[in-house]
């Protein structure tokens, strides 16, 4: 049988009934104290026909937050809230992993404990504004992390992984993309350190590898994925040589035998023009299971799988507006139009009220 979007695949220890992955999508609808609520259970349960759901990016600690109404994965109450979601998805025959997140400099003192400064590899203020409970506010210059502080952040990732397993997740995804903390260490536009975590590709990759190995030590490599975005300019990100850097990262991750590598193949969120990049070479250097993400439709997704470029395809906005995206693709049915105004924050509208196909 030819491989296509509707054929099963195994990523590490995770068996997918199809190759359509729901991409991580920040929706800003968590309950108090970062505890998922009933509306979140409904939202994920509705989309359980995906081969794999990757949750919205989820902070690993109080200091990892950068937006309002985010769920967390570091307290017992959060574990209990997420357990309702994983149970609901599993009851529908779905698989779900949680994306582990530290936003680094893309935060604001009003969102952090005791009005703390956001942390980053270097004290470089990003252009743009933070979404806060008081509305948009200019980003502030972050505090550069001391090398001595990094083991505690690595430990936060390990703790969040233990919490994720307790919550019933099938695995975890380390978020090293889109201008957040681990990506800030990778790219030299945000990392100008002169210690063992800055300068060379090896040094800038060090924190990502330490985090990934710590997460693997808890969950097992076959339940761990990593997400990269080599040229996404979102969150004021850039690098002087992205191809060489991320070729290095792909080769460094290869021996870890991850469940998958998840790659944003270009720029998202209107962050500006992405640099040219050869994702075919990156994929060949990595060699392991590969999830491709960005502007794929059914035809492009099937072609990427048939050619061997990707093992699965992640869809973002289409899954927001079409909880039954798999059935719609199978039937070549029209797709619902997404309501952009309800992407971030709000209630059921634009979250759990999109219509399913009628029989």
Report the catalytic residues.
Answer: 180
Half-sphere exposure of residue 210: CA atoms within 13 angstroms, side-chain side: 19
Q: In the structure encoding, which two tokens stand for residue 324, read together? A: 């039954």
* Pairwise CA distance, residues 274 & 290, whole Å: 21
- Are 50 and 22 in contact by the 8 Å Cβ rule? The answer is yes
* Pairwise CA distance, residues 269 & 294, whole Å: 11
- Are 143 and 120 in contact by the 8 Å Cβ rule? The answer is yes
Q: Which of 82, 64, 54, 53 is CA-nearest to residue 164?
A: 82
Q: What Å distances lie between residue 332 and 57, 296, 297, 329, 353, CA to CA?
A: 30, 15, 11, 5, 21
H or E segment and range at residue 313? strand 312-315
């Amino acid at each position: 049988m030819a491989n296509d979007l509707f054929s099963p695949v195994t990523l590490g220890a995770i068996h997918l009934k199809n190759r359509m992955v729901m991409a991580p999508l920040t929706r800003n609808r968590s309950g108090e104290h970062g505890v998922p609520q009933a509306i979140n259970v409904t939202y994920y349960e509705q989309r359980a026909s995906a081969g794999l759901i990757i949750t919205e990016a989820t902070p690993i600690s109080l200091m990892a937050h950068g937006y309002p109404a985010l769920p967390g994965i570091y307290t017992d109450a959060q574990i209990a809230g997420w357990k309702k979601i994983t149970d609901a998805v599993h009851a529908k025959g779905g698989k779900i992993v949680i994306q582990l997140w530290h936003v680094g400099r893309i935060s604001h003192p009003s969102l952090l404990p005791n009005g703390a400064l956001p942390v980053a590899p270097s004290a470089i203020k990003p252009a743009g504004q933070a979404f806060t409970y008081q509305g948009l506010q200019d980003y502030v210059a972050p505090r550069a992390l001391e090398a001595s502080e990094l083991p505690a952040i690595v430990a936060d990732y390990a703790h969040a992984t233990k919490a994720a397993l307790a919550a019933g997740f099938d695995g975890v995804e380390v978020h090293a993309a889109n201008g957040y903390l681990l990506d800030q260490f990778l790219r030299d536009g945000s990392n100008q350190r002169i210690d063992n975590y800055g300068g060379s590709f090896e040094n800038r990759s060090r924190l990502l590898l330490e985090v990934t190995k710590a997460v693997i030590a808890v969950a097992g490599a076959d339940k761990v994925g990593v997400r990269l975005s080599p040229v996404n300019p979102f969150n004021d990100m850039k690098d002087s040589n992205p191809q060489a850097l991320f070729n290095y990262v792909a080769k460094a991750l290869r021996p870890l035998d991850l469940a998958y590598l998840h790659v944003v193949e270009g720029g998202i969120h209107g962050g500006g023009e992405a640099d040219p990049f050869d994702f075919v070479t990156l994929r060949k250097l990595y060699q392991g299971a590969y999830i491709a993400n960005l502007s794929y439709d059914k035809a492009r997704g099937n072609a990427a799988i048939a050619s061997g470029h990707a093992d699965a395809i992640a869809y973002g906005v289409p899954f927001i507006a079409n909880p039954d995206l798999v059935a719609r693709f199978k039937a070549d049915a029209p797709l619902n139009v997404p309501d952009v105004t309800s992407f971030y924050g709000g209630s059921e509208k634009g979250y759990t009220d999109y219509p399913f196909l009628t029989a």
